[in-house]
Amino acid sequence: MATYGLRCCDILALTLGDIYWRRGEIWSRQRKTGNALPLPLTDAVGAILLHYLRNGRPRCSYRELFLRTRAPIEPLRRNAITMTFHAWVERSGLDIPSQGAHCLRHSYAIHLLRQGNTVKTIGDLLGHRTAESTCVYLRLALEDLREVALPVPQASPEQHEQRIQS
């Protein structure tokens, strides 16, 4: 979630067939938009997935990537990621003001903004249909938004007077 900004439902939908090791890609089928999003399989994520597949994922016929590790072995349920996130936040002792793992998506969006990406690019990566949706994720980064905003053209006093008269 922190690396790609995926939604919980997008992570739960990942299958073994969505990882393309040789091409260095992971494909996410975004549930909200229905779009397929190819993402680079970073070395860090690849190493974590490989460790999980070798040492953590139960052997079974399910194609979903992430499974319960205790009986009954089955794909993770909708609330599993949120519950796990809360458990790790509690262990960490961090004071995270946001409720749930979705705050990682917001952090990812702000990270992309600080790297100089446009709101359009950030929206595409997050799978948003509108810029308004993306801006909700960036509302906490007002100073960053001010840095990337274009200056407003200033009207001359004559142009201002003409607008008033018309």
> Which positions are annotated as active-site residues?
7, 32, 102, 105, 128, 137
Helix (H, G, I), strand (E, B) or coil at 80: helix
Residues in the chain: 166
Dihedral in degrees, nearest 10, Cα atoms 76, 79, 84, 89: 160
**Residue 72, preceding bond cis, omega within 30 degrees?**
yes
Decide: 45 and 1 in contact? Cβ < 8 Å: no
